[in-house]
A and B are shown apart, each in its own frame.
Chain A
């Protein structure tokens, strides 16, 4: 990163980002073409938007867990906040004759803002803690958000917007319930499309990659690698960690909005601890701090249960076994050593041969 443009050539970072966007765009075009030709099965077709949403969730969580180095177990809470905000906003705008795209965009932006503000507010106390204590507090906030969404009722009528903690909203007859406490949102207009999901994935990638390659991003990573050293050179650790946390929450809100507007009904319980953990699995399996790993893991693990459908009842069992085996094979020190030795032995033989021949010639 010595010079951004050297002799009119792009810096390696810019090059890398352009390649990333290129791959995502190509993947989108390929899937769209296949979809147009009717080669994508209907179950997979239904998974396209959730895959995009989970990619956004995984990449945004990677910003906290991988790049900022703090274990967060409550990411689904931000997803929930984003999803239900988007649903409410889109429901309120339903009466207006706004084009669908504008309505979707406003809903997504509102979802991201609400989740981002929430992330900022939660981040202030949470980031004072370290390690597993931080993890448990994020878990606690995630559960609290889920609990609160369970008792929130919202509706809209000609008097405007109503929000209460009990079902009696006093709506007019023409009014419409948007949130039904534990029943969640019903009769949501499905605004999310695969194209919209693709655009949001690109935005997420753009934001995260730019953060990673910026001064702030390097500061965030410095705080992760050695907090004391980072503090001693004058970095405000709290500020950078909070920055990563807030951006991550806002992106998660965006992913949640995409997810929420993809289903006609959505229960608050959907965003429970298991969902947080699922997203964490994407991140860890894909590799901490590795954006591409997150994208690939999110895609494969969302599709995997569908692929395993032939195992019928055993499919989630198979999923669990695959998960455990993949973790052991990627992380086990013994297996790592074994593969390393194996690779070294095979490659050394190849390297030695010409050397030996050369020696004989002399």
Chain B
């Protein structure tokens, strides 16, 4: 039963990573940049939700929607102000700018909300603490359950969105060939903005879910999950949406199992060790496309 509990916790943490990794992988696919500020958008989303419930006494679901709206606006703003002027230059320049944005968000949060950790009230607290299964032998928290459900819904939604809708197809077209997409009459600028908007909205959801399970909220809360999610995106093959989901879930499960059965101090090292081994065997990630170089 402990095994099952760990598995559920791992799947739940992995779902959060997967939702964050989706944002990473979509942005990477479309603009070939590593958006290191993505982890900090998570933190902003969590703070917005925290403030909405604590200070404005709004119901939990409204606070989530509010966080999504703010993060969407933030994502579009960041892309327009910081990344768009650098489009077409080397990926390193954009990478450093993304790091600058990440510093900016962290320090702005530090000024606004202070460095002391805030205790985030779970958005599912109204439902009670947990549910018991198998005559009380297995307890599953509502947070874990809803995180899993949310991840599944988001995954199905994203697959349908990129596969069926016009905007989603435009996104795939831009990520495949920017120039050709433009010639076909796709507005590349608005498509990229749209990608950032969706990625940031997902980040807001991830932030709320993460802080519901792990309630300490600080300006640096988003940093480590951001790195892990980035790892997850690469693990699954960066640029691939199912890859991000698979990578996220696996990273979460490995982390929780590593912590439970091997060493709590070395859980991160185990995650990264597995990543290294996988990349050495499959150099473009689990579901990544292998691109052959032409001379």
Residues of A that sit less than 8 Å from B by CB = 65, 71, 125, 128-130, 132-133, 135-137, 139-141, 143-144, 147-148, 150-151, 182, 228, 273-274, 277, 280-281, 284-285, 288, 313-314, 316-317, 319-321, 323-324, 327-328, 330-335
Is the pair A150, B265 in contact by a Cβ cutoff of 8 Å? yes
Q: With A and B bound together, what is the CA distance between A139 and B268 in angstroms?
A: 12
Is the pair B272, A324 in contact by a Cβ cutoff of 8 Å? no
Is the pair B283, A130 in contact by a Cβ cutoff of 8 Å? yes
Select which of B36, B272, B275, B280 is within 8 A of A128 by beta carbon. B280
Q: With A and B bound together, what is the CA distance between A316 and B219 in angstroms?
A: 13
Is the pair B231, A136 in contact by a Cβ cutoff of 8 Å? yes
Select which of A130, A135, A137, A277 is within 8 A of B275 by beta carbon. A137
Of residues 88 through 103 on chain B, the ones whose CB sits less than 8 Å from some CB of chain A are 88-90, 92-93, 95-97, 99-101, 103
Is the pair B266, A317 in contact by a Cβ cutoff of 8 Å? no
Is the pair A335, B107 in contact by a Cβ cutoff of 8 Å? no
Is the pair B279, A137 in contact by a Cβ cutoff of 8 Å? yes
Q: Which residues of A contact B88 (CB under 8 A)?
A: 333
Is the pair B265, A147 in contact by a Cβ cutoff of 8 Å? yes
Select which of B85, B93, B272 is within 8 A of A141 by beta carbon. B272
In whole Å, how far is A9's beta carbon from the nearest beta carbon of chain B?
A: 38
Is the pair B238, A132 in contact by a Cβ cutoff of 8 Å? yes
Is the pair A139, B227 in contact by a Cβ cutoff of 8 Å? yes
Q: Which residues of B contact A280 (CB under 8 A)?
A: 96, 99
Fill in one digit per residue for B102-121: 1 if any A CB lies within 8 Å of its CB, else 0: 01100110110000000000
Q: With A and B bound together, what is the CA distance between A327 and B100 in angstroms?
A: 9
Q: Which residues of A contact B110 (CB under 8 A)?
A: 316
In whole Å, how far is B239's beta carbon from the nearest beta carbon of chain A?
A: 10
Is the pair A273, B227 in contact by a Cβ cutoff of 8 Å? yes
Q: With A and B bound together, what is the CA distance between A313 and B285 in angstroms?
A: 42
**Which secondary structure dominates where chain A touches chain B?**
helix
Q: Which residues of A contact B295 (CB under 8 A)?
A: 228
Q: Known A313-B111, A314-B111, A332-B86; judge A143-B269 contact (CB<8 A).
A: yes
Does B188 sit at the interface, judged by CB under 8 A? Answer: no
Q: Which residue of chain A is the closest to B102 with respect to CB atoms?
A: A320
Q: With A and B bound together, what is the CA distance between A357 and B110 in angstroms?
A: 63
Is the pair A316, B272 in contact by a Cβ cutoff of 8 Å? no
Is the pair B269, A133 in contact by a Cβ cutoff of 8 Å? no
Is the pair B280, A320 in contact by a Cβ cutoff of 8 Å? no
Is the pair B96, A317 in contact by a Cβ cutoff of 8 Å? no
Q: Which residue of chain A is the closest to B284 with respect to CB atoms?
A: A133
**Which secondary structure dominates where chain B touches chain A?**
helix
Is the pair B104, A320 in contact by a Cβ cutoff of 8 Å? yes
Q: Ordered nearest first, which 8 A-B pairs have the shortest CB separation?
A: A140-B272, A320-B104, A320-B103, A147-B269, A323-B100, A324-B100, A331-B93, A332-B85
Q: Known A319-B103, A320-B101, A321-B104; judge A144-B93 contact (CB<8 A).
A: no
Q: With A and B bound together, what is the CA distance between A132 and B111 in angstroms?
A: 33
Q: Which residue of chain B is the closest to A284 with respect to CB atoms?
A: B96
Q: Known A314-B111, A319-B103, A320-B101; judge A140-B283 contact (CB<8 A).
A: no
Fill in one digit per residue for B199-240: 1 if any A CB lies within 8 Å of its CB, else 0: 000000000000000000000000100010011001000100
Q: Which residues of B contact A274 (CB under 8 A)?
A: 223
In whole Å, how far is B271's beta carbon from the nearest beta carbon of chain A?
A: 8
In whole Å, how far is A148's beta carbon from the nearest beta carbon of chain B?
A: 6
Q: Which residue of chain B is the closest to A232 with respect to CB atoms?
A: B295
Does B293 sit at the interface, judged by CB under 8 A? Answer: yes
Q: Known A140-B275, A228-B293; judge A332-B89 contact (CB<8 A).
A: yes
Is the pair B100, A140 in contact by a Cβ cutoff of 8 Å? no
Q: Which residue of chain B is the closest to A326 with respect to CB atoms?
A: B100
Q: Which residues of A contact B34 (CB under 8 A)?
A: 132, 135
The 25 listed contacts between A and B (C-beta, < 8 Å) are A125-B280, A133-B234, A133-B285, A136-B231, A136-B279, A137-B275, A137-B276, A139-B272, A140-B276, A143-B269, A144-B269, A147-B266, A147-B269, A151-B266, A228-B295, A274-B223, A317-B104, A321-B100, A321-B104, A328-B82, A328-B85, A330-B93, A332-B89, A333-B88, A334-B85
In this complex, the member of A136, A182, A228, A277 whose beta carbon has the largest number of chain B beta carbons within 10 angstroms is: A136
Is the pair A333, B280 in contact by a Cβ cutoff of 8 Å? no
Is the pair A324, B104 in contact by a Cβ cutoff of 8 Å? yes
In whole Å, how far is A109's beta carbon from the nearest beta carbon of chain B?
A: 28
Q: With A and B bound together, what is the CA distance between A317 and B103 in angstroms?
A: 7
Q: With A and B bound together, what is the CA distance between A323 and B37 in angstroms?
A: 14
In this complex, the member of A125, A144, A151, A277 whose beta carbon has the largest number of chain B beta carbons within 10 angstroms is: A144
Is the pair A320, B227 in contact by a Cβ cutoff of 8 Å? no
Q: Which residues of A contact B111 (CB under 8 A)?
A: 313-314, 317
Given contacts A140-B275, A331-B89, 12 further A-B contacts (CB under 8 A): A125-B280, A136-B231, A140-B231, A140-B276, A143-B227, A144-B268, A151-B266, A321-B100, A324-B104, A328-B97, A331-B90, A331-B93
Q: With A and B bound together, what is the CA distance between A313 and B109 in angstroms?
A: 12
Is the pair B230, A316 in contact by a Cβ cutoff of 8 Å? no
Q: Which residues of B contact A331 (CB under 8 A)?
A: 86, 89-90, 93
Q: With A and B bound together, what is the CA distance between A47 and B97 in angstroms?
A: 25
Q: Which residue of chain B is the closest to A130 with respect to CB atoms?
A: B283
Q: Which residues of A contact B96 (CB under 8 A)?
A: 280-281, 284-285, 323, 327
Q: Which residue of chain A is the closest to B101 with respect to CB atoms?
A: A324
